[in-house]
Structures are given as C-alpha cells and as structure tokens.
C-alpha cells in the first residue's frame, strides 16, 4: 500500500478521561494514528492500556458520563466524528464502520434468530426488502464459512458454537460493506485452533472485500501473523508504532522489547500473555506528565520522571515515545 495514500481514518490527539470517585482516569492520552486504505492495523497492549476506550471513543460508543472527551479529531470521509451529531453517527456506525467485540453473547441478542439480527441492518441501512435481506444474510453467513447458511438463519445464537458465533458477529459487521472494520479482541475467548481459523477468515475477507481493519489484541503472536503496521499501547498512550516486521526486528521502546521477550520463538498451544512483564500496570489517575512506563523500565533516568516522552521518529514509518535510544544505549539527544 502506498505510504502517501489518503487515510481512511485519521485520529489526532484523542483524549478520553473518566471522572470517577477516586479521581480522573486518563484512559486515552493524546492518541494519534491513521488507518490507510486496505491495511490491517494491529493494536497491541496489556489489559487496561486503553485499546478499547480508544476505539469506543472514536465511534462515539464510550459512555458519557462517566467519560469525557477532552479533545482531538477523528477524521473520516471529510468529517470529524467527534463533532458529528448522534444521527450522523448512527448512519456511520454499523454501516460504514463495522465492529466486532470479544464476546458475541453480549452483542448478539439471545431472543432473536441470527437471520433476524443479520437482516435488521440490511433493511435499515441498505433499504433491502425482506426477501432480499434474507438472501443477502444467507450469502453473508456463507462468506464467513458457516455451513448450510440458509437454514441456519432460523437458529438462535445459543445454537452456534463459540467460533461460529464469532463468525456470525463478523458477518453482521460486514453486512453493510463497511469501509472500516474494528475488531476488539474478537478471538481472545476462543481456543487456539478456532482462533487461527478466524484469523485466516479475516485475511481472506480483507483480500476479497478490500476494507481497512483495526485488529486489537493483547497477543503479539496474533499481530505477527496478520498486521501490516502495529500500534503498541501502554498506559493510555501509543508508545511505539512501526510496520510489523520492523517492530519485531528492531523494537525501540523498552515496553515493546519486554513484550517481545514474552513471545516464545516456537508458539506453544497457549498464546503469549503480556502480563508476564514484571511490575504493576500504570495508575491512570496520575496526570500524564511523566513516562507511564517508568516504574517498570530498566532504562529510567531523571527526564522520564519530569516529562512524558513524545513520539520520536526512529526510522522511516517508525516512532517510539521514549527518551532512551537503544542504538546507543543512552538518552536521546532530543
Ligand atoms: N466506565 C469506566 N469508568 C472508569 N474507568 C474506565 C471505564 N471504562 C474503562 N475505564 C478505564 O480505562 C482504562 C482503559 O481501559 P480499556 O480501554 O478497556 O483497556 P484495554 O481495552 O486496553 O484492556 C482502564 O484503566 C479502565 O479501568
Ligand atoms: Mg479491551
């Protein structure tokens, strides 16, 4: 994909704060990234690093209150989603931007058949007749690899296995032919074999349908196999951004380097979990005016306590938010 291509989605300086009894939680702290046509952008980071809140914020699904948007822009097709009204957002969400969440049981309604739930957006957003929607729904189930698709439209969510339910969720997200698909840890709850099948399916669908995908995971192994570029999140911030091979070959941020050490060279039957990094996750109630990783970092020095490092360019299409330079094993001259 050409580097200069106009992004599908351009997120700038996104800030989301939760106001809680124990103070403000800086869940998303000045997050900026773009999504390019047809690419698969991986987002990786341990639990609580702000991955979900970032994505929910940009499609207007973060609950306000307790959340408060403190700034930023989300440019999509010439408009700023943060300033689009509720009606405009309803026309975009689920239609031009599809999403899949971790647990299909919370997103699929148990009292309606899968066919009904697939047809509903097709009728509402695409204006299809009942018969046309039913036909398209069967095609969608077929597309995501559900055998005997037409008949299974009459089944309820609980009649599908976990992996098949996740396929139904993907079919629903794809129903209106979205330009962007956001998948938030969609395979985490599945066993490794099913996980691999879903990843294959998504790779295949991307080839066929050409949409851009944001794939969120806490599993670097998953990212390695499917992403073009990767954002590494820590403490509500993007701490590193690079093309996937570059990230694995030449990691810059101490957090990314620690993560990579947790990925076994030969994948066992269990995906590597990021929580094996020593130390406590950052406390997001602290104002983000110092490096969020400093307490777990082996390269910490005075400046890390006094300033929050900006994202330094460290190579073409590669940046890292760290004052330490792994090339010289010394503080950066910046
Ligand atoms: N409704 C909420 N109220 C207060 N804090 C929240 C709420 N939702 C999320 N958070 C906080 O925002 C931070 C980021 O959470 P999240 O984006 O869900 O992390 P991830 O998806 O990376 O696991 C966490 O510290 C979490 O506790
Ligand atoms: Mg999450």
pLDDT in tens, 48-71: 999 999 999 999 889 889 999 998
Residue 89 in any domain: the answer is yes
Name the β-bridge partners of 25.
18
User: What's the domain range around 223?
Assistant: 9-96+176-331
In a domain? residue 170? no
Domain at 215, CATH number: 3.40.50.300
Task: Give the pocket of ligand 1 (CB within 6 Å).
Answer: 18, 20, 25, 27, 45, 47-53, 63, 66, 284
Residue 264 lies inside a defined structural domain of this protein = yes
307 band by pLDDT with thresholds 50, 70 and 90:
very high
Q: Give the H/E segment covering residue 17.
A: strand 9-20
In a domain, 215, yes or no: yes
Task: With respect to residue 247, please indicate whether it lies within any of the assigned structural domains.
Answer: yes
**What is the SS3 string spanning 279-292?**
CCCCCCCCCCCCCC
pLDDT at 269: 45
The residue written with tokens 């629903």 in the block is 172
Predicted confidence (pLDDT) per residue in 87-129, tens digit: 999 889 888 999 888 766 667 899 999 999 999 989 988 899 9
Q: Please report whether residue 37 resides in a domain.
A: yes
Q: Which residues contact 236 (CB under 8 A, 6 or more apart)?
A: 26, 27, 28, 29, 31, 49, 50, 53, 282, 284, 288, 292
- The total of structural domains in the chain comes to 1
Contact 43, 216 (CB under 8 A): yes
* 184 CA closest ligand 1 atom index: 21
Whether residue 168 lies inside any domain: the answer is no
For ligand 1, atom 5, the nearest C-alpha belongs to 18
Q: Is residue 265 part of a domain?
A: yes
- Per-residue pLDDT, 163: 87
CB crowding 96-108: b at 16 or more within 10 Å, else e: bbbbbbbbbeebb
Q: Ligand 2 centre from 333 Cα, in Å? A: 35
* Cβ proximity of 44 and 256 under 8 Å: no
What's the pLDDT tens digit per position in 128-186?
A: 999 999 999 999 999 888 999 999 999 999 999 988 998 899 899 888 889 999 999 88
Span from the CA of 185 to the centroid of ligand 1 (angstroms) = 14
16 contacts 55 by C-beta, under 8 angstroms: no
Give the confidence band of 274 by pLDDT, cuts at 50, 70, 90.
Answer: very low
Question: Which residue, judged by its Cα, is nearest atom 13 of ligand 1?
Answer: 27
Rounded to whole angstroms, how far apart are CA atoms 167 and 32? 30
Q: pLDDT of 17-45, one tens digit each? A: 999 888 889 999 999 999 999 999 999 99
Which pLDDT score is estimated for 166? 87
Q: Please identify which residue in the block is written with the tokens 């822009």.
A: 73
Query: What is the chain's mean pLDDT, rounded?
Result: 88
């Amino acid at each position: 994909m050409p580097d200069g291509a106009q992004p599908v989605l351009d997120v700038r300086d996104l800030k989301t704060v939760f106001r809680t009894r124990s103070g403000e939680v800086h869940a998303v702290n000045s997050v900026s990234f773009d999504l390019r046509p047809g690419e698969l952008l991986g987002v990786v980071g341990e639990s609580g690093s702000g991955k979900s809140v970032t994505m929910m914020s940009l499609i207007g699904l973060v609950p306000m209150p307790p959340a408060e948007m403190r700034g930023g822009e989300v440019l999509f097709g010439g408009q700023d989603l943060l300033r689009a009204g509720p009606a405009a957002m309803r026309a975009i969400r689920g239609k031009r931007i599809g999403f899949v969440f971790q647990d299909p049981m919370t997103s699929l309604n148990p009292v309606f058949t899968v066919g009904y739930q697939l047809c509903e957006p097709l009728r509402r957003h695409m204006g299809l007749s009942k018969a046309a929607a039913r036909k398209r729904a069967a095609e969608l189930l077929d597309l995501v690899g559900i055998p005997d698709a037409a008949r299974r439209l009459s089944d309820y969510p609980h009649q599908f296995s976990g992996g098949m339910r996740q396929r139904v969720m993907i079919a629903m997200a794809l129903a209106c032919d979205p330009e962007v698909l956001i998948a938030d840890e969609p395979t985490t709850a599945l066993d490794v074999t099913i996980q691999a099948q879903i990843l294959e399916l998504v790779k295949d669908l991307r080839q066929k349908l050409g949409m851009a995908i944001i794939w969120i995971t806490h599993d670097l192994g998953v990212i390695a196999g499917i992403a073009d570029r990767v954002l590494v999140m820590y403490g509500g911030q993007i701490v590193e951004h690079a093309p996937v091979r570059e990230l694995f070959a030449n990691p810059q941020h101490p957090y990314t380097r620690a993560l990579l050490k947790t990925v076994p060279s030969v994948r066992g039957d269990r995906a590597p979990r990021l929580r094996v990094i020593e130390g406590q996750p950052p406390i997001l109630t602290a104002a983000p005016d110092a490096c969020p990783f400093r307490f777990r970092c082996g390269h910490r020095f005075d400046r890390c306590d006094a300033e929050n490092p900006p994202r330094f360019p460290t190579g073409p299409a590669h940046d890292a938010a760290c004052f330490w330079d792994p090339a010289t094993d010394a503080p950066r001259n910046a």
